[in-house]
Each structure stands twice: as structure tokens, then as C-alpha cells.
A and B are shown apart, each in its own frame.
Chain A
């Protein structure tokens, strides 16, 4: 086994998912060239924004060796808060700000349960997933709320608006969020400490890292990014449905895994997550155009996921030999 193999895996780690996206695009392009026209591609990116924004936050949680199963319920709760208040004619910017604050509070609750009660992230967020969903149901009396046309213009612009008349707003928001995430991940002490905790929590504590504080911050990040996803969700549909986020957390988690961030923690791939989120939406959209239904789309995404993980598996096997 030569040096080239090592180099190959190094590159695969960084841009493997991009490679898959390109291959998928080529296959689609051969079948039906409409799928790879610019407006379609922009549409796929716009659709990916809702999943993608929360997936950016999820990358931090998984990189820290954790998990946030509650993002779906946070999405539901905040979508309802947005719709209920905007329908009353409240200032949309103020409502969005409140939504983000609530996302932040949800994150603090998760973080405190995990660090102070010493409950594993998976279990803690499984519990709060139910709790936040319950709150959303109580808050809306289990009825979805529509935002009337006259009050919804501002928030709808965030999904259907176009920057400079060409670039869809959700694509802009998505790229901005990922640029910030990447910068935080790479350039700030917080990013390094998240990786340190995911890599070796005992060592992190012994090195003087305030593990509890960083963990709470990580869950604030997932909470706030889930709130931003909720804003985009409501911007898209003008509805606050308390059940919209049921099972939804699977989408950002899929994007993170496709992007090449290992569930074992310690390292992450922020741009990979972005491409992962786009890949899922692109596959769905392409198949949609080809007339393949939801069942077929799900199957296709399953195949892509298994394929990506198989390659990572081969990587693990070849590297185990060496270590």
C-alpha cells in the first residue's frame, strides 16, 4: 500500500461527497439535461436551505461526540411561535428575534440537562424532543396556524426573494450560515475546543477546557440553527404546524453523515455537510422531474447514504491495518 492511497483518503475525506454530487449530476444530465440547468440547481440549493442550516449546527454537536435529536421539535415549536404571532400582526423581525431566543433557550435546557444531570446527549435530547413537541402542541392547541397574506410578506421574502434579482435568498442565507460556521469551526478557540472534546473528553477536562460550558454552547448552536431553519420553513409555507418537525431531525443528521463527519466525534466537515444537504435535495428534485415518486426518492437516498458509508468503511479497514 503506497503513499498515494493515503493521499486518496485524505482527499476523499475532504471532497468525497462533492465527488458523489458531481457523479449524480452527470448521471441526471445524461438522462434529462433539464435537471442540471441553472434554475433547477438554484432551486435544489434553496430547498436544501431548511435542512442545511440546522445541519450546520448539528455538525458541531456530532463533532463534539454528541447528538441533538431535539432539533425537529425545536423547529416545530418555533415555526408555531412565528406563525401564531405574525398572524396577530406583530412586527415580523421582532417575532423572528423571539424565535431565535427561544431556540437559544431550548439549547440551554438541553445543555444543562446533559452537563449538570450528566445524561448522555442522545438520551437527554430524546427526552427534550418529546418535551418541546409537547410544548408546541399545547401552545397551538394542536392546530396549524396560517399567516394571512397581508402579514406574511416580510418573512416570505426570506424564501422566495431574490438577491440582485437572480440569487434566491435561501441560498444566500445558507451560504452565509456555512461561511460563519466554517470560520467558527476553523478559526476560533470554540471550534478547536469542540473538536478536542469530541476527540478525548477526559483529556479536554484535564487540559483545563471548561467542558460543561463548551457543551452548553454547542447545544445553543444547534438550538439557534434549528430556529433559523424554522424561520426558513415558515418563510416557505406561511404555516406554523406543530407536527412539521416530527421525525425531521433525520434530515440534518443525514446531511452531516453524508458530508463525512464521523459519528464517533473529534472531527467534522462543515462544507461536506452543506454538500450533503444539497445532494439529498438534488436527488429528490431530479427524481421528481423524472416522475419518480416519494418511495423511489427515499430508496435512492438510502442507496447514496449506504454507498458513501461503504467507502468510509473501506477506508477504516485499510487504515486499521496500518495503525
Chain B
């Protein structure tokens, strides 16, 4: 009998079934991936195991006994630790305090600071992380915070560790560290349940993979017996002809030129050209400040020196509203915090950037708004139940389409898109790629900043690499392959053959 068994779990929210009659089993000493599109029910099932949601019906069996998990505390007592997708750290507590928050060493009513820091240092050392236990969490970057979150889960010495998209914010080196940690847990006979959108990780790490679709259980396979294409097809429930679209048109004249752009503490001496109809990738490790470069073009940041030329004329946008007037569009990497207006309707989320042109005498025309929404819905195939639905309730992929539509509705010549497919499911990914390709074909100049190299390699004409704030590569299509881009992005080599 399996070590953990979920039997016939059903869960609905407001009458909508999130899980229907799902049974899953996990063994000791295995890495078990759970995959599915957004909304397939992966996170719901993990939250049921973690004691955050309660199943409407069904049973959880661990080690041959039926368990009731009614709170986070119950989950911990049953040896379950969860690394959630959202970070749950206290920014103004130290790393050590965060890791052992639920089990602080206390003597005579006082926290034993030394013992606490020692314990944390020990754990961080075992994980081979270079993080100081007495540092405030707010001083760490996102990827370090993510690793602290992992450390927190490990500190309880649980038998079952669930990781929900743990690599979303990690760079390649840290992903390696995480791999090593996971393999070690496996060798210690622990169960690792691994949720990820990144198929590569699933094939690298997992022994078995279970697939969910629309709240239903589809099947469990030995990872070595299934290939990527079959897995994706089972996830989306239909055949996908080609996942990536390859661009084959020729870019036109130079639209945007960046010359010797510098910003103290972020980047220096950045120069590149962007052509009409070109898809230009920007790759680099986390913390290399590639985001800051494009943020400077969009007016979210001001460079110290250097020039930005649009059609040969120097520009210096001081704010996004100025950049938008120059027809420079932008789609954020952080949908939730700097993209969507969660409390507002899907329609308002689209029209917010063009209210002026939809108004007559200072009054917004609902008809014009609806027309715009219908137009983009048709073009981009967004799925929502009605125009007045809150955007919060849409899947990541649909939200992303709305953000892209918002930028396009304003009318842009240059589009900057950060992490175009972060946290969105495979089906929507393919659609976004096709859309970018189509937009480029129509003459839009697009900059794609992405941490997913396969994405850059397949959709971009050219890619830049940034290493510690300097340009180390301008790589033409024919030389774009994962290993070589990594070489440039880690500063081991340079290549400027893409320059023209």
C-alpha cells in the first residue's frame, strides 16, 4: 500500500467543482510530480494536504491510517510541509527567525538567539546556501527568499514535502541547488511532491508524474515511460501541433536605439538596436539588472547617462505616461503586484489605458468600452464569463492576455514584455507565442525579457545577454542555443555577432 493516499477527494467553490473524485497515491522515497494547466486543481489538492482547504468529501490516508487534516497544525503534525508558490515570510524578521518561527528555542521566556542562529546556520550550510542567519529577510532578493522558504519546510524534518512551483523565482544555479536538495531528500526516504509548469524540471527530477485536468484525475505514469509531447497533450486534452512558433520574416529599419546607457549600481554602457518587426530577447541571470534596462526605456527609471533614440530622435521618458505617448508599451513580469487591478472588472482592466479616447465630453462611453473589449476578445481569445467579472477570478493566462491587450490598445510601435509566460499554462503559452509572432510580422518591434531560454531561442530573432549589468552578448539566431547563451549570461564568453 502506498505511503500517502488521497481517496476520492472532491472539493467545490461556490458550486464550481475544483476537484471531482480525485485519487492519488505517493510512495516513500519518490519524487512525484503533479502537473496540469492552471485551474486543473493541483494547488487545491496541495492546499487540502497542507490544511488550508478542507475537502467536501474523500479521505486522506498516511502510513496505513486515516488522518483528519483540519488545520495547518494538523498537517505539520502528520509530517507534511508545504513550500507555497507565494512567499510567506516576515520581511522584518531575520532569516533564522523566519525558518524556526513555529519552533523557536526558548529558555527562561527568552528566545535563545545563539542557539537559533546556530540551528539556522547548520541547516543553511547543509543546503549549501550562502545566506546569513541573522540577516533580515527584507534584505534578501526574491530567489534567496524562495530558498529560505524551502529551508523553513525542511526545518520541520517532515516526511512529506510538497513544493508548489518552487523554481518560479530561481536562477539556474539555485535551481541546481534545489535539485540537489530534492535528490538528497529522496535518498533519505522522504516523499517529495513537486508541482511545476516547467516540463524540463519534471523530466529531470521526478520518478512518477500524475496529471490533472479540469479537476479530474487523468493518470499516473513513470516519468521515463512518457515523452514531453504526450504529457502536454494529456494536460491540455487535445493535440498541440507545434508548441513554439518560429519566426521567419525579416526585420525592417531600426526603430529604437540605445547608446551607452548607464545607471550607477544597475547597468553600464548598454548599446543595442531594435528593428521594426523584430523579436529581441534579453537573457541573463536573476539580479543581472536586465529588467532595469527596459524599465529605463519605459520611464519607470531614469538612466544617469547615455541615449535612447526613437526613429533617430533622442527621447528621455520620465514616466510611463510619457513613454506611452511615444508609443512604447510595456507588460510587467509581476502581474499581481504591478499589472492587474484585481478589484476591477475585466473590461475596466483593458480600457484603463485608453479612457480618454473612449470618452466624449469627459464621460466614458460604455458602448465604446464594450466594442474594444469585444475586438480584443476576438483577437486574443480571452475566456471570461462576462465583461463585469473581476479580473482576479481569471486564470494567469487570461490575465496575461488582458495585460497584453491593454498595452496594444494604446497603440504601440515598441513593446516591452517581461517574462511573457511566467506562471501561465501550456495552452495559453502557445497562444501568447503565436500572438507575439503575429504582432512582429505586422511590424511591431518587441523586446522579450525572459528567464526561460527555450522560449527566447524559439521565438526571438536575436538575443542580448546581460551579466552583472553589462552587455556580454548580442547573439544572432543561428548561434542561439541554450548552452552558448548561458556561457554569455554567466560572463564566461562574449559574442557580438548579432550587431548590425
Query: Contact residues of A with B, CB < 8 Å?
Result: 1-3, 5-6, 187-189, 192-193, 195-196, 198-200, 202-210, 266-267, 321-323
Contacts and interface: CB of A to CB of B under 8 A. Distances in A.
Contact of B53 (A206, A209, A321): A321
Question: Which of A187, A200, A266 gathers the greatest number of chain B CB atoms within 10 Å?
Answer: A200
B406 A3 contact: no
B14 A5 contact: yes
A206 B352 contact: no
Contacts of B320: 205-208
B138 interface: no
B340 interface: yes
Contact of A208 (B338, B348, B410): B410
A206 B344 contact: no
B363 A200 contact: no
Question: Which of A3, A203, A208, A210 gathers the greatest number of chain B CB atoms within 10 Å?
Answer: A208
Contacts of B352: 192-193, 196, 207, 209
Contacts of A3: 14-15
Interface in B88-133: none
Interface in B285-303: 298, 300
B254 interface: no
19 contacts: A1-B12, A1-B14, A1-B15, A3-B14, A188-B359, A188-B362, A195-B344, A196-B341, A199-B341, A199-B342, A202-B337, A203-B341, A206-B320, A207-B353, A209-B352, A210-B319, A266-B341, A266-B344, A267-B343
A209 B359 CA distance: 16
Contact of B14 (A6, A187, A188, A198): A6
A199 B340 CA distance: 9
Contacts of A204: 341
Given A1-B15, A187-B364, A206-B320, 16 more contacts: A1-B14, A5-B14, A188-B363, A189-B359, A189-B362, A192-B344, A192-B348, A196-B344, A196-B348, A202-B337, A202-B338, A203-B332, A203-B337, A203-B338, A206-B332, A321-B13
Given A1-B14, A188-B363, A206 B330 contact: yes
A193 B355 contact: yes
B53 to A, nearest CB: 7
A5 B13 CA distance: 11
A66 to B, nearest CB: 15
A209 B14 contact: no
A200 B15 contact: no
A103 B125 CA distance: 62
B411 interface: no
Tell me the interface secondary structure of chain B in the complex. Answer: mixed
A3 B385 CA distance: 14
Give the top 4 A-B pairs by smallest Cβ distance, nearest first.
Answer: A189-B355, A266-B343, A208-B321, A199-B341
Contact of A322 (B14, B332, B337): B14
Contacts of B340: 200, 203
Interface residues of B, number: 35
A190 B410 CA distance: 18
A226 B124 CA distance: 57
B491 interface: no
Given A2-B15, A189-B355, A193-B352, A200 B321 contact: no
B39 interface: no
Tell me the interface secondary structure of chain A in the complex. Answer: helix
Contacts of B359: 188-189
Question: Which of A1, A202, A205, A207 gathers the greatest number of chain B CB atoms within 10 Å?
Answer: A207
B324 interface: yes
A191 B352 CA distance: 11
Interface string B344-386: 1000100111011001001110000000000000000000000
A1 B362 CA distance: 42
B13 A322 contact: yes
A192 B355 CA distance: 9
A255 B335 CA distance: 34
Nearest to B335: A203
Contacts of A203: 332, 337-341
B14 A207 contact: no
A209 B319 CA distance: 9
A189 B364 contact: yes
A195 B341 CA distance: 9
Interface in B41-76: 53
A155 B359 CA distance: 37
Contacts of A207: 320, 352-353, 406
A209 B351 CA distance: 12
B342 A1 contact: no
Contacts of B12: 1
Contacts of A198: 343
Nearest to B353: A207
A281 B298 CA distance: 51
